[in-house]
Amino acid sequence: MTFGVINWSILLLLVVGITWLGHRLSSGQKGLDGFFLGGNSLPWWAVSGSIMATQISAVTIIALPGAVFQEGGNLLFLQGTLLGFVIAKFLMTMLFVGPFYEKKIYSPYDFIGNRLGPGAAAVTRGLFLAGAILGHGVRLLTVSLVLSVIVDLSIGQSILFIGLFSIAWSIMGGITTVIWTDLLMFVIMVCGALISIVTIAQGLPMGFSEAVAELDASAKLRLFDFSTDPSRTWTVWTGILCFTVFELAQNSVDQVVTQRMMCCRNAREARKAVLGSLGIVLFSLLMTAVGLGIWLHYRHHPPGADTAAFLAEQPSRAYPYFVFHELPVGVSGLIVAGIFSAGISTLNSALAALSETWVNGYYRTRINPDADERTVMRASRLAIVGWGVLLCLLAYGAGSLVRNEGLLNLAYKAPIATYGPMLMVGLVALTHRGGTTTVLPAVIASVAAAILMLAVRNLAGLRFDEFWIYPASCLVFLLTHTVVRLRTAGLGRV
């Protein structure tokens, strides 16, 4: 079975249409401010949609249904979304949004540099680059795997397809084009999820109450786990502690997300954008419903032996497989367009952030500090191409990882050694305490502790989940920073 002319036509029409419309909406933005900040003139609701599209990614669209569909799958993974994500969004609006708008900045690393000095800014930029390269390489691989299931392309060809569109959109109008295309793609994602749910429901031989009863009887609706066993990935405590750290870091010191928030007109609008992005919770619930529906579908319409074996071995591919083989032609094309949208949205967001970080953090300060704006703009576009090529190569090389760990866990754990220290440097900057001399030892200790915990867990077989490394690395940073500050203060008195 092939993807077909109709599906290809729908997919290409939507992608080309979004390209044209996004470019039209971004017209009029000139210079570095327009390229990296959208001229601080974008409406909060567009920024909010862009944040959601960026954070959703293909991981949410593919891995969430797969996590529910798989043998023993249930709703426990939603604890991170329902608890940690919500807590972190409110903390972000209370702690960071106002200070970020006190002065004109391009990134949270500029804010850190203003408060703690250029050395601290350079450290956090380096951490961001390391985490973003790995994390977004995984996300690019995720959406490319979808293509390999649905259309007649290899994983390498799929990566190239996504990479080319992402690079083109990022180059056209910078962050303004990225935000408007993100918003349009988010609408397509939501439509695809709703169409999937309606189509699945129409094919089930039961009503809503019977479906809920069957899911509950099969333990598919288990939502909360209050266990204190540190080896369990999805519990209330990992949701409150680990995912709060993860999401707060992603919103406050990860330029991929933060860059959007700083495109708003003022701090008040930015707070609306951040809180509005809580809509990601509703979208996660939609994709969870899709996964439950697919499980019910195959329970009442058992697949052949080969298909059953494939889905058991690769549950993360259950949704794209269902879309391609079970949904009508045309409908599947629209839903695949939504999955494509998630992948392109995440990658072009990363390219915009990586370009800004490299240009403002290194090119304009160390490589070519006397460059005029035209030269810097050219360097920015070249940086987008360079980062795009690198991420495509990393995604291609990381293909073997999906055989060892689920996509959902892998995507969340990619920045495991960087998010904790990055967040703590940002929090230190809020208090004006310390500088590079106190921050750098704490960063080194925090990163080393994360790597050591990861190595000990894997090599020594200690029973704790890797998500706990996020808050643990924060604690190590706090202790080290406190000790260094006290010693520095003591030496000053002497």
Contacts of 102 (CB under 8 A, 6+ apart): none
5-223+249-415 belongs to CATH 1.20.1730.10: yes
pLDDT, residue 350, reads: 86
Could you say which residues of the chain have pLDDT below 50? 403-405, 408, 494
Tell me whether residue 347 is exposed, middle or buried, using C-beta atoms within 10 angstroms of its C-beta: 0 to 12, 13 to 18, 19 or more: buried
pLDDT, residue 422, reads: 95
pLDDT, residue 152, reads: 67
CA dist list (Å): 52 to 94, 215, 250, 478: 19, 29, 12, 31
- Which stretches within 70-154 are classed as H helix? 78-79, 86-95, 97-100, 108-116, 118-150
CA dist list (Å): 228 to 29, 67, 144, 282: 52, 22, 37, 28
Domain boundaries, the chain: 5-223+249-415
What's at 40, amino acid-wise? N
State pLDDT tens for residues 442-470.
999 999 999 999 888 877 767 888 889 99
pLDDT, residue 95, reads: 94
pLDDT, residue 30, reads: 67
pLDDT, residue 401, reads: 54
The answer to whether the beta carbons of residues 224 and 240 sit under 8 Å apart is no
Q: Supply the DSSP string of 342-365, one letter for each residue.
A: HHHHHHHHHHHHHHHHHIIIIIII
Q: What is the DSSP letter of 102?
A: T
pLDDT, residue 296, reads: 93
State pLDDT tens for residues 225-283.
998 888 888 899 999 999 999 999 989 999 988 988 999 999 999 999 999 999 988 99
